[in-house]
Structure 1
Amino acid sequence: MKVSKYTKASFLLALFLLLVLSCKQEKKADEALEEEEMAAALPEASFFEMRTYYCAPGRLDALQTRFRDHTMKLFEKHGMTNLAYWIPVENPDNKLVYIIGYPNEESRDAIWNSFAEDPDWKQVWEASTADGPIVDSVEQVFLRYTDYSPKIVAGDGGPRVFSQRTYFTPEGKLPNLHARFRDHTLKIFENNGMTNVAYFDLDDRHEMGDRTLIYFITFPDTTARSTSWATFLEDPDWLEARANSIADGPILDSLKFELFTATDFSPLK
């Protein structure tokens, strides 16, 4: 049977396109494997630092650009794990809040000092502040996972709002609060449309370390947040758990919360 030159050309074109597609898929697979290997090369974090940067007026975008283009890569170079970067939903103070991880407490200072002395970082800092200071002040707290906390895992959870909640207990009552969360509250949160992200104790170096719980939960949006809290507060399981937990007296003195959205460069979204 005679094959026309057009049939041959079509066959060769199809073969060429198949080879191109195969190469692209192989490249993507190699890139994915490389990313996994890079992530695996970083030790699992067991000690955390939450840093809050207060920017000079009009300089928040410059700070985000510096993190996006430079700082995060330099953090990883020196052994830090980037976990989450957030901007408050209401942000009159021009804040950026982020959490990074270290292999352990003992490694923190050496890692941070090596980053601070990195010539690449010094060059980035000088270039980024050529038009004036970016950061006015910094706050930091050191954290450890509670024994019941989920682990923060990089990934995109879709559009959602993060809520940071900080609870202060009467002296000696933090174990009681932990027990209520561990045995009841986390499950009841999930039953009412909330997603548990992470729960932290303050490191012992902090004055209120033995009386403070910091945790993060998420909601699809602020409307869903209001709905979830309303149903949670009326949930019979919660009412019973709360009543039992305070039978010997209050276990919560006060609380504060703030709502965030993830930056476009945050590993956790």
Structure 2
Amino acid sequence: MAEEKPRDARLFEFRTYHAEPGKLDALLTRFRDHTCKLFEKHGMTNVGYWVPVENKDNLLIYLMAYPDRAARDASWKGFLADEDWKKAAAASEVNGKLVGKIDELYLTNTDFSRGFPTSVAGGADRLFELRTYTATAGKLPNLHKRFSEHTLELFKKHGMTNGGYFKLTAGQPAADDTLVYFLAHKDAAAAEKSWTSFRADPVWVAAKKASEEAAGGSLTVPDGVKSVFLKPVDFSPVK
């Protein structure tokens, strides 16, 4: 029997940049031409870069990886002090700053995460789906158990590609109740077809019912499942 792949124990940083009105293209250009290379120079791993399909808020979303928090902090310190970064930032902001706000989340893989999906052969971009679940108080372990024992295989059965499954590191708001994960689909039509067949699958219906009966109720709070469809930008390592 093949050995099970060990869990990826790195620290992940999930960052959302709120670009100033009309500045998203300039922000993407700065990342493409300078930022990503400088991240790598300072020991950071670029995992993926996306923009929402419906990007009304001018967002850039990306995921980075580090060996641990100390390495993360050291890398950012070196990056921000780098003269090449200072020059690139100044040049890009001659006509005003590019980013109004930055949101950060620190993540680690769940025990059942199988890693981020690699890019497909031929370079075809996939449609990604970012899903965030807020578990009912105390029931995140039950939710993890259902994903581990049933949901991941059922996603695969219905044509979805499992990406990384993450929990928030301790000390962040809602860290004890949040699951964040990524799926990849061929396109929007494939996503709709997959979700329709998944939700109607009697195996899923039975697994959901059994897990909720065992936990004494729903594993997520009302309106506790959020989904955002994302498209990879041209310089994203994962597409």
- Normalising by structure 1, we get a TM-score of 0.81
1:208 corresponds in structure 2 to 174
Alignment partner of 2:185 out of 205, 219, 222:
219
Aligned partner of residue 119 in structure 2, secondary structure: coil
Distance apart, 1:257 and its partner CA: 1.1
Query: In 2 relative to 1, CA 63–154 (structure 1 residues): closer, same or farther, beyond 3 Å?
Result: farther
Q: From 92, 108, 114, give the equivalent of 2:78.
A: 114
Are 1:83 and 1:153, in contact at CA under 8 Å, matched by a contact in 2?
no
Q: Distance in 2 between matches of 1:154 and 1:75?
A: 20
Distance in 2 between residues matched to 1:235 and 1:152, nearest whole Å = 25
Of 4, 26, 43, which residue of structure 2 is paired with 1:79?
Answer: 43
For residues 221-245 of structure 1, the C-alpha deviation after alignment (integer angstroms, 9 at most, x for no partner) is 1111111111000101101110110
Structure 2 residue runs of 5 or longer lacking an equivalent are 1-7
Q: Per the alignment, in what secondary structure is the counterpart of residue 265 of structure 1?
A: coil
Counterpart of 1:23 in structure 2 is none
Distance in 2 between the 1:72 and 1:175 partners?
36
TM-score (structure 2 length as normaliser): 0.91
* Residues 160-239 of structure 1: pairs in structure 2 closer than 5 A: 160-239=126-205
| 1:18-37 alignment, distance < 5 Å | none
Q: Quick one: which amino acid aligns to residue 205 of structure 1?
A: G
- The answer to whether the 8 A contact 2:9-2:108 is kept is no
Higher relative contact order (CA 8 A, sep 6+): 2
Write the mapping of 1:21-170 to structure 2, written as runs, cut at 5 A. 46-152=10-116, 154-156=118-120, 158-170=124-136
Q: Select the structure that is richer in helix.
A: 1
User: Distance between the aligned counterparts of 2:69 and 2:199, measured in 1?
Assistant: 37
Q: Retained in 2: the 8 A contact 1:85–1:97?
A: yes
Larger Rg belongs to: 1
The alignment yields a C-alpha RMSD, in angstroms, of 1.3
Which runs of structure 1 show a deviation greater than 4 angstroms over 4 or more consecutive aligned residues? none
Give the length in aligned residue pairs: 226
Whole-Å separation in 2 of the counterparts to 1:239 and 1:154: 30
1:153 Cα deviation from its structure 2 partner: 5.5
